[in-house]
């Protein structure tokens, strides 16, 4: 528990939230910004700053709950056609609260207020460059 963390304060009940699911591992509540209606955050109750701080057990415990919560969000409104599950890690990746969290963003239409734009770099990297990147990642996987 981090006494300066807004999500830890929500877990402790010091800050109210619109909780949709809670157990001994996670809390899921409506994001106050509601990028799209039903926008829900899923957070581990254990304070970890980002995905890089997870161990295998915490990852298993948290991730195993996301499909159930996501399915409930989708079932809550017949107009929800799809869902983005987003996790930002680090300030450069748009993380604004440094307590790991997953955004469940219901999608209604292509014009519902949420977008993710990627640059297509298909022709930017040669096979050798891709293989070098591949090997650098493999070398850091460990056991």
Could you give the residue numbers annotated as active site? 101
- CB 79 within 8 Å of CB 93: no
Tokens representing 35? 């990028």
Centre a 10 Å sphere on the Cβ of residue 94 and count the other Cβ atoms it contains: 9
Closest CA to 20 of 30, 35, 6: 30
CA distances from 89 to 13, 50, 66 (A): 25, 6, 17
């Amino acid at each position: 528990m981090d006494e300066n963390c807004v999500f830890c304060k929500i877990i402790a009940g010091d800050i109210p939230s619109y909780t949709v699911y809670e157990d001994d591992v996670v809390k899921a509540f409506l994001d106050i910004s509601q990028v799209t209606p039903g926008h829900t955050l899923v957070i581990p109750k254990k304070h970890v700053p980002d995905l890089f701080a997870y161990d295998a057990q915490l990852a298993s415990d948290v991730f195993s709950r996301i499909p159930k919560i996501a399915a409930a969000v989708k079932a809550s409104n017949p107009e929800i056609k799809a869902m983005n599950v987003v996790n930002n890690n680090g300030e450069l990746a748009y993380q604004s609260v440094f307590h790991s969290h997953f955004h469940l963003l219901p999608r209604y239409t292509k014009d519902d207020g949420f977008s993710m734009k990627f640059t297509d770099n298909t022709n930017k990297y040669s096979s050798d460059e891709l293989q070098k990147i591949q090997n650098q990642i493999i070398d850091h996987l460990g056991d």
